[in-house]
Amino acid sequence: MSKSGEAAMAALRSFPVSRLQAWLLGLLALLIGLVLTAWISHVEWGRQHTERERALNVAARDVEIALRGELASCELLLRSMQSVYLASRDVSDSEFQAAFEGLRALRHLPSLQALSLAKKVERPDGMHYIVSVVEPLHVSNAHLIGFDINNQPNSLRAIELSQDLNEAVMSAPLRLKQAPESASEVSGIVMRLPAFTPGPVPTTVAQRRARALGSLGASFMIRRLVEDALRGDAGDDMAIAIFDVTNGSRIQLYSNQSKASLPSKNLIHREISFGQRTWRMELVDLRPTPVWSSWAQVLLFGTLSSVLFGALVWSMVGTRGRAIALAHVMSERFRTSEQRFRSLNELLPTLVMLYDGATGMITYANQAARRRMGIPAEGVELSAVAPHSVLGQLRDAVPGQSVAFQEQLKAADGHDFWASIVASEIELEGRNKWLMVASDVSEQRRLTERLSYQASHDALTGLPNRQEFEARLRRALATNRSERMALLFIDLDQFKLINDTSGHIAGDQLLVQLAMAMREQLREEDVLARLGGDEFGVLLQDVVDREAAMMVAERLRLAIDGYVFVWDRRSYISSASIGGTMIEGRGESLKELLAQVDTACYTAKDAGRNRVYFYSDDDVATLRHRGEMDWVNRIRSALDESRMVLAYQEFMQLTGHANKPAPCVELLLRLMDEEGRLVMPGAFLPAAERYGLMPRIDRWVIDTALANFDQLHPAGSGLALCSINLSASTLDEEGFTAFVLDAFDRHAVDPRRVMFEITETTAVRDLVQVSRLVAELRTIGCRIALDDFGAGMSSFGYLKTLGIDTIKIDGAFVLDIERDAVSLSIVRAITEIGHEHGLEVIAEWVANEEQVHVLSSLGVDYGQGFGIHVPELTLFQR
């Protein structure tokens, strides 16, 4: 009974009243009771409505967190595959499959339909993205191979945006090719992330576009994705619908109800922004409001109590017992409402805990938290199951904002596990408490750590790879300014011989054994890494002086030199050339140090291999190699920045030219330096030949010349013949002939208008290989010239078998032909022998009219030199 009722009854007992007064007091008591009942009923209705809305909000938050976690797992899968491409020079289909199976994506993401790579392919109408590899490769996915993503504008827009941002981008909803015929037109989504060439993660849009080799795509069925996230949380008593509302649209993605839209009454919504898309999640509590709800009961019983109270005031009997009974019924209704809220949390699969910061106690834990963490029903201190850093996160949180972080929690079995925790401050029973929702992410972290190790270590030897070695060296340079260190570069001598004679398995085994042998010669703090192929790097920490570093390098050389490798009853003795440099805290950059040891190693190889050589700024050999290394970098930059230039020099027909013949030219290479000045080939081609850049240069010349063939010379399509030089290393390269054939097909150039020049020394060095290449090129119609003929004076014997069309007399014999009788005799003999074999003869280095007259009298077919034509830039590059 209320205090006002007790006061009224006390007043009735204190003095006698008349019948009318009793009725008036009874009516007054009834009015007071009705007013009080109406107020309590209103309060109970508001509390019931608030509790129901709060429970729905908690459920909406939990569903939102679960759905975000599922999308984050999808992004983690793509990030993991992106790291594989950043760490590997060439990811084959089998490596792609192995990485996919190692991630166990189908186990963690059952909604995943396909994980694919769409490579960039440039076509006449623009850039296309063609699917080149897909996993899992079963019947429903096999048709994706070769699919052009440009046919799906939604996916294409996602590819372009993800490439520029280096962020996961989801496409607009679309119908997946794997979807059954009964599926809707918006049955799936594709999440996109770019795949870059190996190296550090690009930081600018220009770098990303330049290094993008394609796009990684993960396609998912939307309904399965949402159901996996909910895991049965949404039953028949709760309606959930999800819409894509990006850019003002409203596309339904999921609904567990047959109706197209949810009722607006009691609707709760959340917006999820992920991958440049915005999803709207709407939840409605479908449980009907009981007719006999607590507030109605309060109203009914309050009214009845008021009537009884008025009657009892009038009759002065038994009001106290009725008031106590009514209070008991009301308290039971309050307890029932609270139990309903707790039951909802008990069903969630995630860990839900309620933490009271004032007492330091976990006052509530749902069933999942109690089982996983062993929390008793009466509660436990948060510090007993979580590290102090969790308390710090909650203490430092901004008031009114949720905080999300990852920490290790203690499990009931004694093993810690990593959890992703989202904590929100709420007011409950007049006190501020923290509602914490945690999800187990231990498996994802282990997967990330394993991928990180694989990305930073060599799979064969278990040593750090080049990327990790350079990272450690960079850290050492940044932190150890006063400590003397040394850097070593180890290159195994003649390692290719073992691979060629016993196979790559034998070579791999040798690398493993040599890595163990070298590791035994080093201290624990020293770093040994495999930089690639047969190259190793060593970082020596805390070195006393240069002599001490050279002693360590010599021990490593002796360990390799003295190692006898036995394979398939064959014995091999290995050796290594080692280059070194001292790191003395003078602000050396990583690039400079790597260039120094590379130069030192090449110097050791030039000195006879199987030796140690340390870099010195004033050493003549070092300076020469360093200059060549500078040219290597400049050549690569020129190729990357399109600063290579083509020039042409015309031939002149010396015999039988009554009518002016169509022009014939030889293409000459020039390099445009950083200041826009032309550099002659004699300055940079020796370095290119020494460091293996000629195949790339030759391919560039061929592709560029054929692509602009009718714009090389002012004669345009009237150009009769274009001669292109080939280097020795290009002739040894596998796939060169296929490249040439493909270039002719792509640019639609008649091969009979092209002549390739091969030097005499190259032909003599590997006659079988050159003969095979000459035969293949002549089969399609190309002409072949033997350049610098006569330099060795041993070529006459193989002219007939080599299968060439033209010989070019070495310019040294033409230089003074008008004055030197020996040169005249040699040129006459070469010309006569060439004509006897049915070959055309071209004389190089023709400098004046007198030489033209002499060569013409000897029957030389063509002349070439500055006395005939000064080289000019090709027409399309002027």
Name the least confident of 533-537, 632-636, 845-849. 632-636
Read off the pLDDT band of 345 (50, 70, 90).
low
**Percentage of residues of the chain with pLDDT beyond 70:** 83
Q: Which residues pair with 410 in a beta bridge?
A: 416
Q: What pLDDT, in 10s, does the model give residues 823-843?
A: 899 999 999 988 988 899 999
Say how far apart CA 53 and CA 60 lie, in whole Å: 10
- Sheet of strand 361-365: strand arrangement: 380-381, 361-365, 351-356, 431-440, 416-428, 403-410
The SS3 assignment for 3 reads helix
Confidence of residue 314 (pLDDT cuts 50, 70, 90): low
CB 194 within 8 A of CB 312: no
Instruction: Give the pLDDT score at 2.
Output: 46
Q: Rounded distance, CA 263 to CA 285, Å? A: 10
Are 18 and 50 in contact by the 8 Å Cβ rule? The answer is no
What is the arithmetic mean of pLDDT over 262-273?
Answer: 75
Terminal-to-terminal C-alpha distance of the chain: 105
Instruction: Read off the tokens for 783.
Output: 């002409």
C-alpha to C-alpha distance for 165 and 241, rounded to whole angstroms? 30
pLDDT in tens, 703-749: 999 999 999 999 999 999 999 999 888 888 888 999 999 999 999 99
Residue that wins the pLDDT comparison between 318 and 58: 58
Top pLDDT among 15 and 404 is at 404
Report residue 14's pLDDT band, with 50, 70 and 90 as the boundaries. very low
Q: Are residues 592 and 470 in contact, defined by beta-carbon separation less than 8 angstroms?
A: no
108-117, 297-306, 461-470: the lowest-pLDDT one = 297-306
d(CA 648, CA 108): 62
For residue 636, what are the contacts with CB-CB under 8 A and spacing of at least 6? Answer: 693
User: Of 300-304, 354-358, 607-611, 648-652, where does mean pLDDT reach its minimum?
Assistant: 300-304
Over residues 530-544, the pLDDT tens digits come to 988 889 999 998 888
> What region, left, alpha or beta, does residue 276 occupy, with left being phi > 0 and alpha being psi -120 to 50 degrees?
left
Residue-wise DSSP of 289-345: PPTT-HHHHHHHHHHHHHHHHHHHHHHT-SHHHHHHHHHHHHHHHHHHHHHHHHHHH
Question: What domains are defined for the chain?
Answer: 3-63+289-344 (no CATH), 350-446 (3.30.450.20), 460-616 (3.30.70.270), 641-877 (3.20.20.450)
Q: Which two tokens stand for residue 121?
A: 């392919």
Query: pLDDT at residue 630 above 70?
Result: yes
Nearest to 557 by CA among 540, 579, 525: 579
Please report which confidence band the pLDDT of residue 529 belongs to, taking 50, 70 and 90 as the band edges.
very high
List of residues 6+ apart from 859 with CB closer than 8 A: 655, 831, 832, 835, 841
pLDDT at 688 over 50: yes
Alpha helix positions (H), 562-640: 590-606, 620-640
pLDDT class for 619, splitting at 50, 70, 90? low
Is a pLDDT exceeding 70 seen at residue 443? yes
Q: Which of 198-207, 312-321, 691-700, 703-712 has the weakest average pLDDT?
A: 312-321
Which pLDDT score, from 0 to 100, does residue 34 have?
74
Higher pLDDT, 366 or 12: 366
Residues 665-680 have pLDDT tens digits of 999 999 998 888 888 8
CB 276 within 8 A of CB 169: yes
pLDDT tens digits along 34-50? 777 777 777 777 777 77
* Residues ≥6 apart with Cβ < 8 Å to 221: 111, 113, 176, 178, 179, 183, 187, 188
The beta-carbon contacts of 228-233 under 8 Å, at least 24 apart in sequence, are 228/70, 228/109, 228/110, 228/111, 229/63, 229/66, 229/67, 229/69, 229/70, 230/63, 230/66, 230/67, 231/66, 231/349, 233/59, 233/62, 233/63, 233/66, 233/347, 233/348, 233/349
Of 528, 442, 427, the closest CA to residue 486 belongs to 528
15 or 774: which leads in pLDDT: 774
pLDDT tens, residue by residue, 87-132: 887 888 888 888 888 888 788 788 888 889 999 998 888 899 999 9
pTM metric for this prediction = 0.41
| pLDDT surpasses 60 at 505 | yes
Which stretches of 368-411 are assigned E, i.e. beta strand? 380-381, 403-410
**Of 276-290, 533-547, 587-601, 603-617, which has the strongest mean pLDDT?**
533-547
